[in-house]
C-alpha cells in the first residue's frame, strides 16, 4: 500500500514539475529575440519531469525492499516484544499476525501475544510511512530543482531527454536478457545437481531410457538414464519427418501465393494458412491420435507390416509438419515479397520465365528469411509436446522405423516432473538436464539461423 | 498529330510501332504512337516527367505484361512480325530486345553469374569454356573487364553504382540482343560514370538498335541521332536530334527544350 502512495506522489510531483518547466520554457521563448529556443518547451518539461520521477522510482524500489525490515526491527525493539518466544516458527507467526492486523489485512488477532504487538506495529508503520513520504518529497524536490535550475534558453533539453529515453529503452531490453540468464542459471544449477548423481557421459551417450522414480535416489542406475533415444525421437519426429512435410509444402505455398495467385485468392488463402498456426496443439494431437495414427496403422497392415502399433513417430511427425507449415510459409512469403521488384524485372527482362526467375533469383535472394523461417519451425517442432504424447507415445525407443512408437525430450520432461519421484530424486532432476540440452540445441539453431542470415545479407547488400 | 521531319534518310525499321496506345486500367498513358526504330541510329525519347516514356519503352519488350492493369492496343513489329500476336514467345522476344533499367539492378550473385545468367537461361553456351568466353567478351564490350577481371566471384552488388550499371549493360548484351532499351540509365550516376556509359552507347551503336530515355537534353544531344519528344502520352515530334534541338517545328517541343517546363 505504501509504495503505491509513493508512486502516486511521484507522478503528481512529476506532473507539477512538467507544467512548471513548460511554463518556464515558454517564457524563454517569449523573451528570446527570434522566438526560438534550443529545444521545444515540451522537452524542457519532460527533462524536469523525468528528473523527478526516475530518482523517486529508484528510491521507491529500494524503500519497498528495506522498509519492512526497518519496521520489523523497531517492533522487536519495543518493550512488548520482550515476551516473544525466543525463536523460530512461533515467533514469526505472532509477528505476521500482528502485522496483518496493523495493516488492516486481518480483522482481529487470534493469538493473545500478538495483540500486544499490534500497537507497536501500527506506530512503526506510520512512522516509516511518514519517513518514506518525506524522503520521496525531498528527492523529488532536489531532482526537480536541480533540473529546473539548469533550464536556460540555450539548454539542450532535447538531447538530454533523448539520452534518458534511450537509457530507459536499454533497461527494457535488459529485462529480457536478464530473464534468459536467470532461466539458464536455474537450469544449470539443477542440471549440475543431476550430473552429480548420474554422469554426463551416461546421460548423453547411453541408449536406454527408463528412470525409475521409486528406486533408491542415492544410488541411481546409470544405465537407465541414457537419453539418446529421446534425442533421436525428437530429431526424427521434429526435425526430419515434420520438416519433410513442412519445408516443401510451406515453400511451395509461399511461392504460389507470392508469384502466381491472383490478389483475391491470395487474400483468402494467406489468412487461412495463418489460422493453422493458431490452432491449439492439443487439437492437432486429437487429429493425429484419432485419425492419422489409425490410418497409418491400417496402411501399414495392408502393406504387410506385422503388428504395427496405433502410435507412431510417423503420425506425430506428419501432423507436426502440417502444424508448422505456416511458420515456414509466412516467413518465406515475407522474404520473397521483400525482394525488390527491380530484381524480378531484371530477370524477366533477360527473357527468364517466371519459374526461372523464382528459382534463380527470388529464392536465392530470399534465402536468409527462408532459412530463418525453417529454423524457427524446427525450434518450434522440437519444443512441441502435446502431439507427441497423443500420437507417438511416451515409450523411449531407439529405432529408424517411422512406424515405431517413440518419444521426445519435452514429453519426458513433463513425465519426469509430474512423476511420483520426490523433487530431489535423480529421475525428477533428469528433467532439468533434458531441458538444458533442449535449451542449448534451440540456442544453437537460432545462432546458426542468425549467422546464415548475416552471411547472406553481407553478400547481397 | 505527330510531326515527323521530312529530311530523314530512309532506313529499315528494326522495330516499328503502329498506332500504339497503352492503358493502366481506364487511364490512357500512351495515345496512338507510331514510330520506326532503326539499327543504324541511337533513338532518344525525351519529354516531361509522367508523359509516358517509360511506359512506351516497356511495351517494346512487353515488360508491361508484368503489370496486371496494363493493356496495350495497336501493333509493334520486330523485323516485320507483331510482338503482340498470339503465339509470340515472350521469352524469345526479351532475349532479342534487352533492357537496362533506371536503377542498376544486378542480381545478388557473383559478377560472373550475373553475366552468365542470360546465356544459361537461353542455352547460348556449351560448356564452361564457352560461357567464360561470353562473360569476358560482354564485360569487355561494356568496358568493365579491366576493373573486375580479378574478382569475378565477388558479389555484383558490391560494385559501385556506375560499375553496377555497366554490369547490367554487360548482362543485357551477353545474350546478343538485337535491340537494347535503356530507361534513364545514367540518372543514378555521377558525371564520370555517365561519360563511361555514354562512351559505351556510342561504341555499341550501329551494332544494336538502341533506344534511350533521358531527362538530360545534353545527353540526348551527345548520344543520339534521332529524338522523339513525348508530351502527355502523345509523341509530339520526331526527327534528327540536331534538328529537334535547333529547329523544332512544334511550339511544345520548343518550350520543353528551352526549359519552359519539365
Ligand atoms: N504501374 C502503373 N499503374 C498505373 N499508372 C501508371 C503505372 N506506371 C505509370 N503510370 C502512369 O502512366 C503515366 C506515364 O508514366 P511513365 O512512367 O511512363 O512516365 P515517364 O515519362 O517515364 O516519367 P518519368 O520521366 O518521370 O520517368 C503516368 O501518368 C503514370 O502515373
Ligand atoms: Mg520513366
Q: How confident is the model at residue B136 (pLDDT cuts 50, 70, 90)?
A: very high
If you average pLDDT over residues B92-107, what whole number do you get? 92
DSSP sequence for A147-211: HHHH--TT--HHHHHHHHHHHHHHHHHHHHHHHHHHHHHHHHHHHHHHHHHS-HHHHHH---B--
pLDDT at A458: 56
Domains of chain B, by residue range, sit at 3-257
| Residue B236 half-sphere exposure toward CB, CA atoms < 13 A | 23
Using CA coordinates, name the residue in chain B closest to A366: B108
Helix or strand (DSSP H, E) at A55? helix A41-77
User: Is any ligand 1 atom within 6 A of the Cβ of residue B214?
Assistant: no
Q: Give how far B3 is from chain A: nearest CA, Å.
A: 31
Q: Identify the segments of chain A with pLDDT beneath 70.
A: 1-2, 85-89, 456-461
Q: Note the pLDDT tens digit of each residue in B107-132.
A: 988 999 999 999 999 998 888 999 99
Using CA coordinates, name the residue in chain B closest to A355: B121
Of A81-85, A142-146, B32-36, B194-198, give the lowest mean pLDDT range: A81-85
Q: Do B91 and A340 touch (CB under 8 A)?
A: no
Q: Which of B93, B107, B122 minimises the CB distance to A346? A: B107
Residues of chain A with C-beta less than 8 angstroms from the C-beta of B95: 350-351
In chain A, helix, strand, coil percent, each to 5? Answer: 80, 0, 20
User: Do B213 and B246 contact (CB within 8 A), yes or no?
Assistant: no
- Residue whose entry in the numeric block shows the C-alpha cell 496493523: A102
Cell reading at A361? 533469383
DSSP sequence for A5-16: HHHHHHHHHHHH
Round to whole Å and give the CA distance between A205 and B181. 65
| CATH architecture of the domain formed by B3-257 | 3-Layer(aba) Sandwich (3.40)
Q: Which atom of ligand 1 is nearest to the CA of B215?
A: 25
Percent of all residues in chain B with a pLDDT value above 70, rounded to a whole number = 99
Helix or strand (DSSP H, E) at A427? helix A426-460
Q: What is the DSSP letter of A37?
A: -
User: Is any ligand 1 atom within 6 A of the Cβ of residue B66?
Assistant: no
Query: In the predicted model, is pLDDT for residue B255 greater than 50?
Result: yes
Residues 322-351 of chain A with CB under 8 A from chain B are 340, 342-351
Q: Assess A264–B contact: CB distance below 8 Å, yes or no.
A: no
Cell reading at B6? 521530312
Q: Whose CA is nearest to atom 26 of ligand 1?
A: B49
Q: Whose CA is nearest to atom 8 of ligand 1?
A: B55
Task: Label the pairing between strands B70-78 and B13-24.
Answer: antiparallel
Round to whole Å and give the CA distance between A328 and A335. 11
pLDDT at A460: 53
Q: Which atom of ligand 1 is nearest to the CA of B55?
A: 18
- The complex's ipTM works out to 0.89
Residues of chain B with C-beta less than 8 angstroms from the C-beta of A348: 63, 66, 94
Q: Note the pLDDT tens digit of each residue in A296-353.
A: 888 888 888 777 778 888 888 999 999 999 989 988 998 898 888 899 999 999 999 9
* B81 DSSP β-pair partners: B78
| Cα R_g (chain A), whole angstroms | 32
Round to whole Å and give the CA distance between B162 and B191. 10
Round to whole Å and give the CA distance between A271 and A253. 13
pLDDT at A86: 65
Interface of B with A (CB under 8 A): 61, 63, 66, 90-95, 98-99, 101, 103, 105-109, 117-118, 121-122, 155, 157, 168, 171-172, 175
Q: Which of B103, B118, B168 minimises the CB distance to A351? A: B118
Where do the H-state alpha helices sit in B38-89? 53-59
A259, A344, A350: best to mutate for the B interface, most B CBs within 10 A: A350
User: Do B204 and B217 contact (CB within 8 A), yes or no?
Assistant: no
Amino acid at each position: 500500500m505504501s509504495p503505491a502512495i509513493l508512486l502516486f506522489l511521484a507522478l503528481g510531483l512529476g506532473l507539477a514539475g512538467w507544467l512548471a518547466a513548460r511554463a518556464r520554457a515558454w517564457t524563454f521563448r517569449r523573451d528570446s529575440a527570434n522566438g526560438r529556443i534550443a529545444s521545444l518547451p515540451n522537452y524542457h518539461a519532460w527533462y524536469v519531469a523525468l528528473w523527478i520521477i526516475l530518482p523517486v522510482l529508484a528510491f521507491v524500489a529500494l524503500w519497498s525492499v528495506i522498509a519492512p525490515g526497518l519496521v520489523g526491527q523497531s517492533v522487536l525493539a519495543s518493550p512488548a516484544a520482550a515476551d516473544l518466544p525466543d525463536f523460530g516458527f512461533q515467533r514469526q507467526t505472532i509477528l505476521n499476525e500482528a502485522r496483518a492486523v496493523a495493516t488492516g489485512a486481518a480483522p482481529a488477532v487470534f493469538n493473545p501475544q500478538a495483540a500486544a504487538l499490534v500497537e507497536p506495529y501500527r506506530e512503526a508503520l506510520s512512522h516509516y510511512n511518514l519517513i518514506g513520504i518525506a524522503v520521496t518529497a525531498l528527492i523529488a524536490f532536489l531532482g526537480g530543482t536541480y533540473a529546473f535550475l539548469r533550464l536556460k534558453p540555450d539548454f539542450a533539453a532535447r538531447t538530454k531527454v533523448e539520452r534518458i529515453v534511450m537509457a530507459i529503452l536499454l533497461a527494457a531490453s535488459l529485462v529480457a536478457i536478464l530473464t534468459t540468464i536467470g532461466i539458464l542459471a536455474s537450469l544449470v544449477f539443477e542440471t549440475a545437481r543431476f550430473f552429480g548423481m548420474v554422469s554426463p557421459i551416461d546421460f548423453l551417450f547411453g541408449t536406454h531410457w527408463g528412470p525409475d522414480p521409486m528406486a533408491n535416489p542415492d544410488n541411481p542406475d546409470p544405465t537407465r538414464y541414457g537419453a539418446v533415444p529421446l534425442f533421436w525421437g525428437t530429431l526424427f519426429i521434429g526435425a526430419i519427418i515434420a520438416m519433410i512435410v513442412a519445408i516443401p509444402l510451406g515453400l511451395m505455398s509461399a511461392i504460389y501465393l507470392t508469384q502466381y495467385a491472383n490478389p483475391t485468392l491470395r487474400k483468402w488463402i494467406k489468412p487461412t494458412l495463418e489460422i493453422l498456426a493458431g490452432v491449439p496443439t492439443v487439437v492437432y494431437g486429437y487429429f493425429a491420435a484419432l485419425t492419422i495414427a489409425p490410418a497409418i496403422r491400417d496402411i501399414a497392415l495392408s502393406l504387410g507390416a506385422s503388428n504395427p502399433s496405433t502410435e507412431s513417430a510417423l503420425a506425430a511427425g506428419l501432423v507436426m509438419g502440417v502444424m508448422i507449415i505456416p511458420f515456414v510459409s509466412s516467413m518465406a512469403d515475407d522474404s520473397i515479397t521483400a525482394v525488390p521488384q527491380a530484381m524480378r524485372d531484371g530477370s524477366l527482362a533477360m527473357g527468364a520465365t517466371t519459374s526461372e526467375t523464382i528459382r534463380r533469383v527470388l529464392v536465392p535472394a530470399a534465402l536468409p528469411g527462408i532459412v530463418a523461417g525453417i529454423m524457427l519451425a524446427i525450434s518450434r517442432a522440437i519444443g512441441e509436446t502435446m502431439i507427441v504424447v497423443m500420437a507417438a507415445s511416451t515409450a523411449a525407443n531407439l529405432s529408424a522405423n517411422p512406424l515405431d512408437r517413440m518419444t521426445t525430450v519435452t514429453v519426458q520432461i513433463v513425465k519426469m516432473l509430474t512423476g511420483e519421484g520426490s523433487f530431489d530424486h535423480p529421475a525428477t532432476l533428469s528433467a532439468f538436464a533434458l531441458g538444458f540440452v533442449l535449451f542449448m540445441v534451440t540456442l544453437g539453431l537460432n545462432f546458426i539461423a542468425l549467422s546464415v542470415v548475416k552471411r547472406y545479407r553481407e553478400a547481397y547488400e | 498529330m505527330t510531326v515527323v521531319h521530312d529530311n530523314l534518310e530512309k532506313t529499315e525499321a528494326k522495330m516499328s510501332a503502329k498506332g500504339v496506345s497503352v492503358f493502366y486500367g481506364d487511364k490512357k498513358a500512351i495515345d496512338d504512337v507510331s514510330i520506326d526504330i532503326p539499327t543504324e541510329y541511337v533513338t532518344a525519347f525525351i519529354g516531361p516527367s509522367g508523359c509516358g516514356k517509360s511506359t512506351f519503352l516497356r511495351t517494346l519488350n512487353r515488360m508491361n505484361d508484368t503489370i496486371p492493369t496494363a493493356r496495350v492496343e495497336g501493333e509493334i513489329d520486330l523485323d516485320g512480325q507483331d510482338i503482340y500476336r498470339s503465339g509470340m514467345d515472350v521469352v524469345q522476344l526479351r532475349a532479342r530486345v534487352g533492357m537496362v533499367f533506371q536503377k542498376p539492378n544486378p542480381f545478388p550473385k557473383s559478377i560472373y553469374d550475373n553475366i552468365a545468367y542470360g546465356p544459361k537461361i537461353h542455352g547460348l553456351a556449351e560448356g564452361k569454356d564457352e560461357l567464360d568466353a561470353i562473360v569476358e567478351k560482354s564485360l569487355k564490350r561494356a568496358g568493365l573487364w579491366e576493373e573486375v577481371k580479378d574478382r569475378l566471384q565477388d558479389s555484383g552488388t558490391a560494385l559501385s553504382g556506375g560499375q553496377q550499371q555497366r554490369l547490367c549493360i554487360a548482362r543485357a548484351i551477353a545474350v546478343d540482343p538485337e535491340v537494347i532499351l535503356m530507361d534513364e540509365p545514367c540518372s543514378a550516376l555521377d558525371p564520370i560514370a555517365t561519360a563511361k556509359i555514354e562512351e559505351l552507347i556510342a561504341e555499341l551503336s550501329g551494332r544494336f538498335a538502341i533506344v534511350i530515355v533521358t531527362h538530360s537534353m545534353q545527353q540526348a544531344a551527345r548520344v543520339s541521332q534521332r529524338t522523339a519528344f513525348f508530351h502527355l502520352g502523345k509523341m509530339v515530334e520526331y526527327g534528327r536530334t540536331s534538328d529537334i534541338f535547333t529547329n523544332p517545328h512544334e511550339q511544345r517541343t520548343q518550350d520543353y527544350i528551352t526549359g519552359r517546363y519539365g
